Amino acid sequence: MGDEPDPRFSMANERTALAWVRTALAFVAGGVGLTSVARIAGLSRLLDVVAVALCVLGALLAVVAVLGWRRRELAMRLDRPLPAPFALPWLGALVAVVALVLAGYLAFSTR
């Protein structure tokens, strides 16, 4: 639909989407790693909940990456302004929350 955009912009859009997918994969890998370490070390089940949340976040982020790529590609083809990434503020806030939960767990866990 629309006119073919400059290939450089289209490829930059694709690279951005792939970076989001790599971030999503890192969240999934972090969740799997966290639950594995928690099981081996006999740590709290709270870490399993955090691990599940990381895996779900990774799945959602992968979908958002593809949808964002499509929205930007369509905007370029129709010569419209590029839409802002709607997942970025949520992702930043969620990373901060997960980091605080894990820091709290480490600070208050008894050894």
**Can you give the three-state secondary structure of 39-60, one letter per residue?**
HHHCCCCHHHHHHHHHHHHHHH
pLDDT at 111 over 70: no
Is 75 domain-assigned? yes
- In total, the chain counts a number of residues equal to 111
Q: Encode pLDDT of 28-68 as tens digits.
A: 999 999 999 988 888 888 888 889 988 998 999 999 999 99
Query: What crossing angle do the helices spanning 7-41 and 46-77 adopt, rounded to 10°?
Result: 170
- For residue 94, the one-letter residue type is L
- Is the pLDDT higher at 6 or at 70? 70
Q: Give dist(CA 33, CA 30) in Å, integer.
A: 5
Is 13 domain-assigned? yes
Is 17 domain-assigned? yes
Is 25 domain-assigned? yes
pLDDT bin (cut points 50, 70, 90) of residue 9 is very high
Is 2 domain-assigned? no
Tokens of 37: 């370490």
Domain extent at residue 79: 7-108
Q: Which DSSP category does 85 fall into?
A: P
pLDDT of residue 110: 64
Is 1 domain-assigned? no
Count of structural domains within the chain: 1
pLDDT bin (cut points 50, 70, 90) of residue 4 is confident
Is 54 domain-assigned? yes
